[in-house]
Chain A
C-alpha cells in the first residue's frame, strides 16, 4: 500500500522543551490513523508539526514521497486541519468561516460530504461563533478541516465536547469518507474508538513511541477489548513511573 505520510526520527520543540523525540511512523493512503497517549505525551505537538503549525526541529517528514520537513507552508497546504475550537474567532459567523476557507459556501459544504449532516452544520450557518456552545464550536472546527476539500486531514481529539449521538454519527461519517479515499490522522483518548474505527495507530509516552499498533493488533483488540485496554493502560502507567 502506498504511504501517504512517512516520518523518520522526527523531533519537535516547544519553547525550551523538546516534546517529541525521534518518532518513526508510517500512515498509508486511505487509512484512519489513531494516535493515543496520556495528557502531555506529545500527540498534539506531533500532529501540529505534521500540519505545519509548528516547526520540525529535526528528522524527516515525507508526504507523497517529498521530504517537507523544512517547508511548513507546504505541510500546511497538504493537510486539512481542525483549528482549536476555543480559538475560533467569536466575531465571525459560521458561514463566513466556511466561505473564507472553502472559497464559496456551496463549495465548502460540498466538501463536507456525509459530515455535513453528521455535524448538523446547516443549522449553525447563521450563528456567531461567540454564541456557539463548546460542542457547536467543535463541530465547526471539524467542518473547517474539510471545507477546503483536502484528501488528508488531521483532527486533534475530534470527539471532545460532542454529544453521544453526534460523536457516533461523526465517527460513521469519517469512516465512510476514509473508505472512499480520505487519509485521516486523529489524536484520541478513547480506546474504544481506536479499536472500532481506526486502521492503524501509535501510542506515545513522554514524546516517544511506546507502542506501534498495526491492523492485526486492532483486530485482536476488537475480539477482546478488555485485554487490549489492560495492556495499553499498563503501558501508559509504566511510562509514567
Chain B
C-alpha cells in the first residue's frame, strides 16, 4: 500500500494519513527486529500472566475490572485523538481539515476503530467473555473523555486562569526547597499521631508521604528534553529532577525515625524511594521518547514489574536492574554533544 498515494489519502483522509505515516515511521525508527521479538514475547507473557491471574478470581470481579480497564482505555485514546486534532487545527499543516467536523469525525472514527480491534483482540486472548464488558467500558470512557476533554481543549478563561496558577505552583514544587518544606509539613501533620495505634499512624504516614511525593516528583517533559539537547548527561539530569524528592526523603525519614520511631521512618522511606524510582524511570523515558510514548512505556514497564512481583517476587530486583540499565544506555545516547 502506498501510504502517500492520492487514492489512499482520499480514502482515509489527510489527517489520518498524516498521523498514520508518523506512527509507522516512529515504530520503524524506534524498534529493530530484536525489539519486535522482545515486545511480542512480553505481550505473550502478559497475556499468559493475566490468564493465570484471573482463573481463580470471581467472575463479577474480573468483569468489573475489564469494564474499568475499558473506561481508562477509551478515555486515554479519546484524549490522544482530541490532542492530535487540537494540534492539527492550531499548528499543523492541515488545519482546514481539522476544523471541518465531517473530517474530524472520519479521523476520530478510524483511530478508535483500530484501537477497538487491537484492544478487543488482546482482551479476547485473555478471556473471550471479558470482551463485552471491556467494550462497554471503552465506549463509556470515550463518551466521558469526549465530553470532559473537549471542554478543556476548547478552553475557558476561568480554566486557563486556574491552569496558569497551577503551573506556577507546579514550577515551585520542582525547586529543592519544596522537598524540605514538604518534609517539615508532613512531620508537623504527623506529630499529633505520636503514640497512636500502630496501623493507623502507619496509614497516615503512608498517605501523607504519598501525596507529598506525588506533588514533588512531577516531571516536565519539555525541561527533560531541553536538558538532553543542552548537553546535560543522564546523571546530571536525574540529579536536577530528583532533588526535591531526595531532600524530602532524607529529612522526612530522619524526622520520622526520631519522632515516631523506625516503623514510620521505614514506611516513609519505602514510599519515597518507590516514587523516586518511578520519577527516574519517567526522566529516562522522556529523554528517549515523546511524552505520550514515554508515559505508555513507563506504564507498560510498571505492568511487567507488577506481574513479575505477583508471580516471582525474588526476580523483581533483577528485572528493575535490567530496565534501568537498558533505559540508561538509550537515554545516554540522546545527550547532545560536540564530537
Q: Provided the pairs A16-B161, A91-B22, A91-B25 are in contact, do residues A100 and B9 lie with their beta carbons within 8 angstroms?
A: yes
Give the chain B neighbours of A48 by CB distance below 8 A: 90
User: Interface segment, B91-99, B122-130, B209-217, B263-271?
Assistant: B91-99
Contact indicator B93/A84 (Cβ below 8 Å) = no
B30 to chain A, nearest CB (A): 10
| CB closest chain-B residue, reference A86 | B91
> Contact partner of B90 among A54, A91, A100, CB < 8 A?
A54
A24 interface residue, CB < 8 Å from B?
no
A51 CB contact (under 8 Å) in B29, B94, B95, B161: B95
Contact A101 B93 (CB under 8 A): yes
Q: In the complex, A48 Cα to B95 Cα: how many Å?
A: 11
In A36-68, which residues have CB < 8 Å from any B CB? Answer: 48, 51-54
Report yes or no: B96 in contact with A15, Cβ–Cβ below 8 A: no
Given A13-B157, A51-B95, A52-B99: A100 touches B164 (CB 8 Å cut-off) = no
B26 at the interface (CB under 8 A from A): yes
Chain A 92-106 per-residue mask, 1 if CB under 8 angstroms from chain B, else 0: 100111011101100
Could you say which of A69-77, A110-118, A187-195, A206-214 contacts chain B?
A69-77
Contacts of A77 in B (CB 8 A): 96
CA distance A77 to B155 in the complex (A): 23
Query: Interface size (B, Cβ < 8 Å)?
Result: 29
Question: Are the C-beta atoms of B160 and A15 separated by less than 8 Å?
Answer: yes
| Contact pick for B29, options A16, A83, A91, CB 8 Å | A91
| Nearest Cβ on chain B to A232's Cβ, whole angstroms | 30
Number of A-B contacts (CB under 8 A): 72
Complex-state Cα separation, A73 to B102, whole angstroms:
12
Question: Nearest chain-A residue to B19 (Cβ)?
Answer: A89
B18 at the interface (CB under 8 A from A): yes
The interface centre, meaning the residue of B9, B93, B157 with most chain A CB atoms within 10 A of its CB, is: B93
A230 at the interface (CB under 8 A from B): no
Interchain CB contact under 8 A, A15 and B157: yes
Residues A91 and B92 in contact, CB atoms below 8 Å apart? no
Q: How far is the CA of A15 from the CA of B154 in the complex (A)?
A: 10
Q: Is the CB of A91 within 8 A of B21?
A: yes
Known A76-B99, A83-B92; contact A92-B157, beta-carbon cutoff 8 A? no
> Are the C-beta atoms of B22 and A144 separated by less than 8 Å?
no
A100-B96 CB under 8 A given contacts A13-B157, A16-B160, A16-B164: no
Is B26 in contact with A91, judged by CB distance below 8 angstroms? yes
- Indicate with 1 or 0, residue by residue over B137-178, a CB within 8 angstroms of chain A CB atoms: 000000000000000000101101101100000000000000
- Rounded to whole angstroms, the CA-CA distance of A137 and B77 in the bound complex is 30
A15 near B25: Cβ-Cβ < 8 Å = no
Quick check: A76 and B96 within 8 Å, CB to CB? yes
How far does the Cβ of B293 sit from chain A's closest Cβ, in whole Å? Answer: 11
Residue of B nearest to A88 (CB): B93
Check if B64 is an interface residue, CB within 8 A of chain A: no
| Contact across chains for B94 and A100 when beta carbons are under 8 A apart | yes
Provide the residues of chain A in CB contact with B87, threshold 8 Å: 87
With A15-B164, A77-B96, A83-B91 in contact, is A100–B157 under 8 Å at CB?
A: no
User: B94 near A52 (CB under 8 angstroms)?
Assistant: no
| Cβ-defined partner of B18 (8 Å) among A51, A72, A95, A100 | A100
Q: How far is the CA of A101 from the CA of B155 in the complex (A)?
A: 28
In the complex with contacts A99-B4, A103-B6, A92-B96 CB distance below 8 A: no
Does B221 belong to the interface (CB within 8 Å)? no
Chain B min CB distance to A76 (Å): 4
Whether B99 contacts A89 by the Cβ 8 Å rule is no
Chain B positions within 8 Å of A33 at CB level: none
* Residue of B with least CB distance to A81: B95
Residues on B with beta carbons closer than 8 Å to the beta carbon of A128: 25
Distance A97 CA – B19 CA, assembled complex (angstroms): 11
The reply to whether A92 and B21 form a contact with Cβ atoms under 8 Å apart is: yes
- A107 CB to nearest chain B CB (Å): 10
Contact A52 to B96, CB < 8 A, known contacts A87-B91, A91-B26, A92-B22 = yes
Which residues of B lie under 8 Å from residue A81 when comparing CB positions? 95
Q: Does B301 contact A (CB under 8 A)?
A: no
Which residue of chain A has its CB nearest to the CB of B3? A96
Given known pairs A76-B96, A91-B21, the reply for A84 and B91 (CB within 8 Å) is yes
B105 to chain A, nearest CB (A): 13
Residue of A nearest to B90 (CB): A53
A51 proximity list for chain B (CB < 8 A): 95
CB of B291 to closest CB in A, whole Å: 14
B contacts, CB < 8 Å to A: 4, 6, 9, 14, 17-18, 21-22, 25-26, 29, 87, 89-96, 99-100, 155, 157-158, 160-161, 163-164
Pairs A–B under 8 Å by Cβ, sample size 16: A15-B161, A15-B164, A16-B161, A51-B95, A52-B95, A52-B99, A53-B90, A54-B90, A87-B87, A87-B91, A89-B22, A91-B22, A91-B25, A100-B4, A100-B94, A144-B93
Question: A-B pairs with the 3 shortest C-beta distances?
Answer: A15-B160, A73-B99, A76-B96
